[in-house]
Amino acid sequence: QWEKAKRKAAEQVRDAAAELLNIYARRAAREGHAFRYSPHDYEQFAADFGFEETADQKAAIHAVVQDMISPQPMDRLVCGDVGFGKTEVALRAAFVAVTGGKQVAFLAPTTLLAEQHYQTLVDRFAKWPVKVAEMSRFRSAKEITAALKGIADGSVDIVVGTHKLLSEKTQFKNLGLLIIDEEHRFGVRHKEAMKALRAEVDVLTLTATPIPRTMGMALEGLRDLSVIATAPQRRLAIKTFVRNEGTGVIREAVLRELKRGGQVYFLHNEVETIENRRQALEKILPEARIAVAHGQMPERELERVMRDFVA
């Protein structure tokens, strides 16, 4: 059994290596698109960030822009903790791509994350003649059809979405940049579709938790790597407390957050009993407005709850 398992593992490694060699040989042989952009326009876009970039952020943005203006296809991994500014790196890349005449696909692993990125993109590109579309469960069939048409005829500049973006129906007129958020959270079939795209366009991957294979590829030079290790200024360190569950502990923690004008996520591990949990919380926290959100809810209802929470 052990010998059989070893043989099978060796075959899988060989297959993976051959596939990677094929993809990266195609990328190396292909003349990439060297993007051109207006430094003045870029500075205007960057000024709308509203925060001062950290040194790591500046380095990552510079590396990405240099990758994009070179004729070699980009395949860069940007690694950084949640809230450290990876999305801004992606926004700058999207700006360079769109003003350079290409389309951008922004791939997110979940509907909620896709919606979050969509809102960020719409806000940041509000002053620019850039059309942003979304393809996810939050969009109606009519909206998806309109997005697909815009992607195909080039009237949509940036599309953000979940795995729906990887369907055969999605035909880009002039795709130049693929941004992938948390690639490891996609399934095997979706990763295969990404590989087909990866051979043709510039690729920027964002992650807070790189899997060993992805990290290995970066460290071995198959992918370029940028690490954002410094937190933004004035950001407080995240603290984790472990307590025995009790109504007093829950009430104290939630009220402390509400009194400072904050909001609370309460994670429950079972859809079947989540309503019971909500009722229990309402008893101990009558002053709080409590809503429920989970993946088995109708899309529109889930969207409404999340929009209310963000608003």
> pLDDT tens per residue, the chain (311 residues)?
788 888 888 888 787 677 667 766 665 666 667 889 899 999 999 999 988 888 999 999 999 999 999 888 888 989 888 888 899 999 999 999 999 999 999 999 888 889 889 999 999 999 999 999 999 888 888 999 999 999 999 999 999 998 888 888 888 999 999 999 987 666 656 666 666 666 678 889 998 876 555 555 554 555 678 888 887 777 777 788 898 988 999 999 999 999 999 999 999 999 999 999 999 999 999 999 999 998 888 877 887 888 788 76
CA distances from 47 to 52, 53, 158, 207, 234 (A): 9, 11, 20, 25, 19
Asked whether residue 271 falls in the same domain as residue 150, the answer is no
Asked whether residue 53 falls in the same domain as residue 20, the answer is no
Asked whether residue 269 falls in the same domain as residue 300, the answer is yes
Virtual CA dihedral for 306, 184, 75, 155, nearest 10 degrees?
Answer: -40
CB atoms within 10 A of CB 170: 20
Which residues span the domain enclosing 303? 247-310
Domain assignment present for residue 236? The answer is no
Of 158, 152, 145, the C-alpha closest to 114 is: 158
DSSP designation for 108: -
Handedness of CA 123, 126, 129, 135 (dihedral sign): positive
Question: Over the stretch 95-131, which tens digit does the pLDDT of each residue have?
Answer: 999 999 999 999 998 888 898 899 999 999 999 999 9
Asked whether residue 117 falls in the same domain as residue 12, the answer is no
SS3 53: coil
Domains contained in the chain, number = 3
Asked whether residue 13 falls in the same domain as residue 43, the answer is no
Asked whether residue 213 falls in the same domain as residue 294, the answer is no
What's the rounded Cα separation, in Å, for the pair 229 and 231? 7
Asked whether residue 128 falls in the same domain as residue 261, the answer is no
Asked whether residue 190 falls in the same domain as residue 269, the answer is no
Domain assignment present for residue 185? The answer is yes
Asked whether residue 253 falls in the same domain as residue 280, the answer is yes
Asked whether residue 282 falls in the same domain as residue 167, the answer is no
Of 141, 134, 143, the C-alpha closest to 111 is: 134
User: Which pTM was predicted?
Assistant: 0.76
Asked whether residue 128 falls in the same domain as residue 183, the answer is yes
Of 228, 255, 280, the residue at which a domain comes to its end is: 228
Domain assignment present for residue 242? The answer is no
Domain assignment present for residue 241? The answer is no
